[in-house]
A and B are shown apart, each in its own frame.
Chain A
Amino acid sequence: MSCSESYDEARRPPAPKVAAELENPVTGRGLKTALYLDTGFDGTILLTSDLWEKLELGLAELDEDVYALHGGYLPVRLTPALARVSICGAWRGLVKVYLHPLARRALLGRGIVNRLYAYLAGPEGRLVVSRAPLGPGGPPGARNKCQKPGV
């Protein structure tokens, strides 16, 4: 399965983002949000306070010491928790997610991106995410919609 998403054109320069569904594994409460692709982030998903509170992730919090390093040297304490995640239907799983008290945007890092095939069609302002390898130029017809292979 693959999906194709338009870049966020409101950001300068435009930024690749992907639709995701997050669910609290204790309460079952879920929500849909956009995650910005960040291959510079070592972790899985970095959440804003707003998303954290809506999902009540304090109930699935992990007792672990984790810090975000900005620019390689500025540490900010993160709060880890467990969440069920679906990345535009192409990948789903139970993963550690992190609350960053200063984050203004939710990020999708290499902890998940490395399990997927991602194709950045910058000039077209589009990101294609797939569980299977993508052909040259990205999967045909995968434009701004989710679809199953061969459809």
Chain B
Amino acid sequence: MLIEMAMAKKVFLRGIDEKLYAEVKARAAILGITVSEAVNRALEAWLRTPASEVVEIGGGKRRLRKAAERLAGGREEGVLVVANDGELHALFDTVEEALEWLRGLYSRGELRNSLIRPLGRKEVRYLEVGGGGDELLGELRRG
């Protein structure tokens, strides 16, 4: 993929996932922006993501999600909590009980990372955002 960045910088990238690139291209077309603009914004978003989150997504958080996926299998009720890269986990009836457990780990200095998973069917949720939406779209289109 050849990307023309701001200031007419051209960057050649290897190893871009073809399917991902096709999706980016399609979404950029819907938005009326170029792929370069989309990539610039994606890079900007990545840079604005808290460093702790970036590290977590690349490591601990991914392990936590995998552990949660495995441990949640088939369970329909309650709250599953996984912590410390999946080394610890527990099931609770309520979110408050789950938080209490995490607070205990935190207060003893034993909590490195954690993920709370309400059990049941996992659904993707979309939230409409009003304020700031136009601002963001304006930024995307400006490039």
Give me the interface of A with B, judged by CB distance under 8 Å: 15, 25-28, 36, 38-43, 46, 49, 52-53, 56, 58-76, 78-79, 82, 94, 98-105, 107, 109
| B127/A107 in contact, CB under 8 A | no
| B130/A66 in contact, CB under 8 A | no
Residues of A within 8 A of B45 (CB): 76, 101-102
| A101/B49 in contact, CB under 8 A | yes
| A74/B53 in contact, CB under 8 A | no
Q: Which of B21-76 contact A (CB under 8 A)?
A: 30-31, 44-46, 48-53, 56, 61, 64-65, 68
Minimal beta-carbon separation of A108 from chain B (angstroms)? 10
Give me the interface of B with A, judged by CB distance under 8 Å: 30-31, 44-46, 48-53, 56, 61, 64-65, 68, 95-96, 99, 102-103, 106, 111, 113-118, 122-137, 140
Task: Report the nearest B residue to A107, measured CB to CB.
Answer: B131
| A67/B102 in contact, CB under 8 A | no
A56 to B111, CA, bound (A): 12
Nearest first, the 3 closest Cβ-Cβ pairs linking A and B are A40-B130, A38-B131, A70-B133
A99 to B54, CA, bound (A): 13
A69 to B51, CA, bound (A): 24
Task: Report the nearest A residue to B99, measured CB to CB.
Answer: A25
Residues of B within 8 A of A59 (CB): 102, 106, 111, 113-114
| A94/B95 in contact, CB under 8 A | yes
B128 in complex: contacting residue of A28, A69, A103, CB < 8 Å: A69
Residues of A within 8 A of B116 (CB): 60-63, 82
Minimal beta-carbon separation of A23 from chain B (angstroms)? 11
A27 to B65, CA, bound (A): 21
Minimal beta-carbon separation of B117 from chain A (angstroms)? 4
Residues of A within 8 A of B106 (CB): 26-27, 59
